């Protein structure tokens, strides 16, 4: 799926959190895409994900589970990323504008 998505031109791929934990996925993404890591505080993530069951990995563990997962994955996420953007307490429009600016600077 990652190969197929990364092979398309002019699109944004929204990867699940586990995608970059597989080195073959990172290789494919880095070869053909710019990878942007969107970060937020654990408290912000909890607020965004509570009240639904669309995130089974986060269900039932609260803030401590989120912090544990963030800690376990941080190095892999940052190693895969070309850019890091903090989304804590920001509206999507502001985040998108920052990403666009970062991409323009590297062209």
Residue linked to tokens 């999507």: 92
Question: Is 63:46 a contact under the CB 8 Å cutoff?
Answer: yes
pTM, rounded to two decimals: 0.84
CA distance 91 to 97: 10
Give tens-digit pLDDT for 37-59: 999 999 998 888 876 665 556 56
Which mean pLDDT values do the consecutive 10-residue runs of the chain (107 residues) have?
A: 89 85 92 92 88 61 88 93 95 96 81
Best CA proximity match to 38, nearest among 56, 20, 63, 62: 20
């Amino acid at each position: 799926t990652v190969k197929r998505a990364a092979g398309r031109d002019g699109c944004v791929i929204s990867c699940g959190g586990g995608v970059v934990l597989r080195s073959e996925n990172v290789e494919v993404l880095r070869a053909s895409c710019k990878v942007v890591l969107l970060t937020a505080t654990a408290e912000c993530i909890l607020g965004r994900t509570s009240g639904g069951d669309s995130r089974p990995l986060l269900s039932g563990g609260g803030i401590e589970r989120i912090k544990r997962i963030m800690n376990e994955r941080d190095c892999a996420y940052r190693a895969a990323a070309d850019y890091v953007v903090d989304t804590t307490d920001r509206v999507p429009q502001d985040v998108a504008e920052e990403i666009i600016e970062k991409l323009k600077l590297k062209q």
